[in-house]
Amino acid sequence: MLRYKNVPSIEFDLENGYMVKADYVYNRETEKYEVSLHIRDIQVDQWNLMGQYDKVEFEAGENGQKTIKSRIAKYVTELFYKGEFGYYVDRTDMELKCFDYGLEHMNGKRGVK
C-alpha cells in the first residue's frame, strides 16, 4: 500500500473567478504549522502552487489547533487586499490561454476538430 499524508486545507473564493486553497500541516520538529497556498481558476479543476507562499510558518501557540484556520484566513485576506495574488492570477490566466492556443494549434495541424 502507498503511504499517504493527511493534509487539511481551507479554500477561499477571491470573488474574481479564482480560488485560493491553503494546505496546512503541523511540523512536530519545529512546533509550527507549515502553510502552502495554491490558486486556480474556478472553471478549471487544477490547483497551482503559489511558490512565494509555500511552507509559510505559523507559530502554533497555546490553542494552535483551534485557531489555525482563523489565523490562515486573516493572513490570506491581508494578502488579497494588498494585491499579492495579482501575479498568480495573471500567471494562471496566461497558462490557460497558452494551453488553449496550443490545443487549437495542434488540432488544426492534425486536421482534427
pLDDT in tens, 13-23: 999 999 999 99
Please write the tens of the pLDDT for every residue from 38-66: 999 999 999 999 999 999 999 877 777 78
Q: What is the mean pLDDT of residues 26-33?
A: 92
Distance CA 2, CA 42 (A): 30
- Determine the Cα–Cα distance for residues 26 and 32; give it in Å rounded to an integer: 6
Q: What is the pLDDT of residues 76-104, one digit of tens each?
A: 999 999 999 999 999 999 999 998 888 88
Split at pLDDT 50, 70, 90, the class of 112 is very low
pLDDT value of residue 84: 95
Q: Give the three cell numbers for residue 42.
A: 474556478
pLDDT at 36 over 80: yes
Q: What is the pTM of this model?
A: 0.85
Number of H helices, E strands in the chain: 2, 5
pLDDT of residue 110: 57
